Chains A and B, each alone.
Chain A
Amino acid sequence: MSAPAVPLPAERTMRGQVKQGVDRFGGLVEVWLRAHALLVYAFLYIPIVVVVFYSFNGTDQRVMDWEGFSLRWYEYVAENNEVQRYLWNSVIVGLGTAIISTLFGTMAALGLQRVPRFVRLPFDALTYVSVIVPELVIALATLVFFATTIGREGILTNATGITIGFGYHTIIGALTLFNMSLTLLLVRARLSGMDRTHVEASYDLYATPLRTFWQITLPALLPAIVAGFLLSFTFAFDDYLITTFVNGQGTSTLPLYVFGQIKRGVTPATNVIATLMLLVTLTLLVGGQWLLGRYARRSGGGRGLGEGGVAQIVAEGGT
């Protein structure tokens, strides 16, 4: 790997030949940096473009044999009841997870401001663990947990004869762990950057805590809450691994269906479903970003979804 450049191009410094000599690869490095960035973005987007493009393929043979533009596979998917059932399941799981994660994550972020240290430290540790732990570990651990407690041969059945079993609730419960922690981190980052003078002014004007919350705190936190909601929805909507482990009868989601298709051999219909899934998440994220942008302009300041979001918060927390 060659060295990144020094900000000022050599020609513009006024400091003689030595630096000119040192910097003789300057132009080359600049070109390389640009080309590298371009290639990486191509690498990131070409696969997505390819999937979308070939979803319009009129072929009934191999996915990549282009036989002209056609919407026939879209019609096929639109008429396919099975796909619609999976889609509906995905929406239920996505919405359920997003609502619970956002609510409890935001509540915890607010409450954690005022708990003693011996509560906050383990709580923080658990929050970070649930964000960073590999999804597979959560998937198998919750499977074993649910199976031994509310499963067919679980403790509950042995004791009372009632079986709750697996279903939407187990999927949403398991997915909420990660997404709730994520929302907690997003909201907390926003809280710590909040201007407290407004809250104090509100109290000075004899507002009750509840009124202060509705009129000052909640509006200030709204971007983070919306971001948490949208992210939770997309992550839950797109989730494969946890859902595979803890789904129940008839609660399989769209990613599980797609995975099955991939294993059996893809058809142009797979590309159509993939495109639709991309469309759902992208619409939400772009729409959310747009809303937050408008909101930020109206209320002044604030950071949207785009600025690195999750990873940035984790990175800032760590460094």
Chain B
Amino acid sequence: MTAGAPAVEGRPPAPARAGVREGPSRLATTLLVLPAGLWYLFLLILPIGIVMLFSLGNRGETGGYAGGFTFANYEGAFRNPSPFVTSLYLSIAGTVACLLVGLPLAYFIATRAGKRKTLFIILLVVPFWTSFLIRTYSWLILLGRDGLAGWFVDVTGNESFRILGTDAAVLLGLVYGYLPLMVFPLYVTLERMDRTLLDASKDLGAGRWATFRQITLPIALPGLITGSILVFIPMMGEYVIPQILGYGQTFTIGNALVLRFLEFRDWPAGSAQAVGLIFVMFVTISFYLWFTNRGRQVREQSVL
């Protein structure tokens, strides 16, 4: 069903290339792609289109959407930007923290782990594929009054000390939840790195720091950017972590959206905020595409 035409009876089999071009019927191809296409249309394009439409409307008396054309929802979102600011600063801090923790780890796996590379990667994948909720919840135990915070209170005697319900706890949860997404792309780029470059750099008298800055870092840059995007975007829309580890005190865009849609049923105002979140995502991805295309052009030029 995938490739090549049926060899026509009574004729010697067509050369493979020509066969590939003929292929199974157009109808078969359409039927193969159709369900996924319908899914994209009905569960991605239309819903987001509706959100954009609703963001310009009025709230119904009992919640929901009541038509109209107004920018009031956007004005409202701009007048109270604090959830956005909180999410933005937490996501940027979380991305930087993931980078600081992830880069040395990716470097270690790519260059020092030898035959156990796959094992190290599997060990990184396993927690990532287990329940996000459970992993976040476990920090509730670890950081609570029976865990780290309690221990700290015992040691210092500072009764008011707590970790849960602070930005620090949320940040820790974010790094814990998304670290693997930073390490994978970094590992992929570092693993492909031509090690002789490092020897060459050394032979030319460069120190470790100079070699890192001038060889390793530029080579790792595509992975670094990919990793940063992969952690930054979901962190922006995170709800579970600030809700559980921040007790909802750290009020992110995620908290705001859940409140608007599930508690207040204020769809238009919520939609405006959601469009804001989509916009941030759009800008981030545009930057990413611009960056990767730029890299490609540079590479092509250097080949010429």
Contact = CB atoms under 8 A, between A and B. Distances in A.
B294 interface: no
Contacts of A34: 108, 112
Interchain residue pairs A-B with the least CB separation, the first 9: A134-B237, A111-B32, A64-B146, A315-B185, A47-B138, A141-B47, A311-B184, A108-B36, A3-B212
Classify the secondary structure of B's interface with A. helix
B270 interface: yes
Contact of B261 (A51, A143, A312): A143
Contacts, number: 356
B142 A45 contact: no
Interface string B46-59: 11101100100000
A7 interface: yes
A158 B109 CA distance: 59
Interface residues of B, number: 124
Interface of A: 1-8, 13, 15, 18-19, 22-23, 25-26, 29-30, 32-34, 36-37, 40-41, 43-48, 50-51, 54, 62-65, 103-105, 107-108, 110-115, 119, 123, 126-127, 129-130, 132-138, 140-145, 147-148, 153, 173-174, 176-177, 180, 184, 191, 196, 199-200, 202-204, 206, 208-210, 212-213, 217, 231, 234, 238, 240-241, 244-245, 255, 258-259, 262, 266, 270, 274, 277-278, 281-282, 285, 289, 305-309, 311-312, 314-316, 318-319
Contact of A258 (B48, B64, B130, B133): B133
Interface of B: 1-7, 13, 16, 19, 23-24, 28-33, 35-37, 39-40, 42-48, 50-51, 54, 64-65, 100-101, 103-105, 107-109, 111-112, 118, 120-127, 129-135, 137-142, 144, 146-147, 176, 179-181, 184-185, 187-189, 195, 198-199, 201-203, 205-213, 216, 222-223, 226-227, 229-230, 233-234, 236-240, 244, 254, 257-258, 261-262, 267, 270-271, 274, 277-278, 281, 285, 288, 292
A306 B16 contact: no
A25, A177, A202 — which one has the most chain B CB atoms within 10 A of its CB? A177
A318 B236 CA distance: 21
5 contacts: A3-B216, A8-B202, A37-B104, A142-B47, A319-B226
Contacts of A33: 104, 107-108, 112
Contact of A110 (B2, B141, B234): B2
